[in-house]
Structure 1
């Protein structure tokens, strides 16, 4: 096997394998919290939803891409391609939408007490999470409905112009107009949500800076420390998303300017567009004490079981 192909395969394998494992662990940790405490805090519920979307993204894009790089052919037929591409588009859209929802929720939560409208909004936020999450699923299922119509299994021979060659599937737009309209529509949606999350994250940073100056030299309460830590986690998630979103869209803009996309360029975009899904759960684990505590407890229980079996 060629060295370049081997490096690419190992990179996709590590990204998909570690990302799937980390997101699954986050979901299991939140399931344990829900079982033991009977409920999830609103921010934890959003993070759990994010881990689910990222897990779906890696399963529908990272796994097929890895198998294709390692030489697996005829992985999916036309129906399989339509289903996988549709689920991937939904998961990718949900990832940006949920990150945006998390940043807006945190911005409202840390906002200083204001008038009666803000007070009512803060009180209603936990009850709004479920309908907003359901609305995001329905919205993105409707927006991404066109993706299956352009998705087909790879055919023998050359790749037609205006086709995204994913290796395991082809997304054939048939003409330049469809190709550009699809790219612009996806970019406008993503840039809109990224703009909102950047605005809310900037507001959070301003509030944290003011709060830090106000409480300097004063002992902070446990609630203040937890709220500050949660706000910093949200800002770090947004920064992580924006970095890989920027790289992804630079490559995407280049792809819109050419009729035939080189396979290496398409692979680079797939890798960078999946980096957030594979790295965000590690940030959640390292910054969330509840999730980390479940990991430590599970590891300790396994160690105790091992000692008892040996004895």
Structure 2
């Protein structure tokens, strides 16, 4: 095994191992919270769903990719490739959609009431979380339905034109029209959700700026600031998640646009796209773990083996992220 392959294999192995560990820790922490409190706050439910989508993404894309890099061949047959590629496409789509949902939810929560309709929306918002999950699953399962029809196990010989060589599977679009239509459909969906999340995150930053100016005015007048520090921390974490996704989404799509312009894609280019597109799934759980006071308190309680110990986030039950 040459040095290039070794570096690539170790990089995928670290990314996959750390990402799976981080997302599993987030899910286990929320299971513990549900067992203790018998419910999840709406934003906690969104973050839990995000961790599940990212875990599914890593299991269906990075695990077989890592095994292929280290020389394992013939991992999947045609039906196996169809199931894995379809699951990966859905998980990747859910990752961007749920991140967008988180950003929009936080923006609406922080927005000042601007009339009775807005107040009613804010009151109904928690009840809309589960229906939104169901709608996102349905939409993305429908959008990604073409992927299984083009997914096949690798064949001996050269890779045909207009084929995405994933190593463990091939996605053979057979002609340029199918290749471009699939890429455009996925890109339009992704850019729509990324645009919405960036817009809502920009609005959150505007609200945080106004809050910061108001807090400075309160301090300068000698009064004590209000107790909305938790919501401010939550908003900053959401914005950080969005920025993290946008950075890797940009790198991913630069490579994807290049791949759409050539008939035969080099495996090195495909590997680079897989690595950068999976960075968000690997890094986002650690941002959640380090910024969510509920999760940190639950992990401290678990490490101390005292599950009945009061949660450290009782100072403000609204600290959701």
Report the TM-score, using the length of structure 1 for normalisation: 0.95
Over 6 Å off, 4+ runs: none
1:148 and 2:148 aligned = yes
Matches within 5 A, 1:43-122: 43-122=43-122
Give the match for residue 269 of structure 1.
273
Query: How far apart, in 1, do the equivalents of 2:225 and 2:173 lie?
Result: 57
RMSD of equivalent CA atoms: 0.9
| Superposed displacement of residue 294, structure 1 | 1.6
- Consecutive unaligned residues of structure 1, counting only runs of 5 or more, are 303-311
Q: Please list the CA deviations of residues 195-254 of structure 1 after superposition, one character each: whole Å capped at 9, or x if unmatched.
A: 0000000000000000110011153333x1111011001000000000000000000000
Query: How far apart, in 1, do the equivalents of 2:226 and 2:168 lie?
Result: 53
SS of the residue corresponding to residue 195 of structure 2 reads helix
1:228 and 2:232 aligned = yes
Give the match for residue 299 of structure 2.
295
Query: How far apart, in 2, do the equivalents of 1:296 and 1:20 lie?
Result: 20
Q: Please list the CA deviations of residues 10-66 of structure 1 after superposition, one character each: whole Å capped at 9, or x if unmatched.
A: 000011111001000000001111110111111111000000000000000010000
Q: Please list the CA deviations of residues 76-131 of structure 1 after superposition, one character each: whole Å capped at 9, or x if unmatched.
A: 00000000000000000000000000000000000012200010000000000000
Give the match for residue 195 of structure 2.
195
Give the match for residue 264 of structure 2.
260
Query: How far apart, in 1, do the equivalents of 2:8 and 2:296 lie?
Result: 31
1:4 and 2:12 aligned = no
SS of the residue corresponding to residue 155 of structure 1 reads coil
SS of the residue corresponding to residue 72 of structure 1 reads coil
Query: How far apart, in 1, do the equivalents of 2:9 and 2:64 lie?
Result: 11
Query: How far apart, in 1, do the equivalents of 2:213 and 2:20 lie?
Result: 40
Query: How far apart, in 2, do the equivalents of 1:283 and 1:291 lie?
Result: 11
Q: How many matched pairs? A: 301
Give the match for residue 33 of structure 1.
33
Report the TM-score, using the length of structure 2 for normalisation: 0.93
1:124 and 2:130 aligned = no
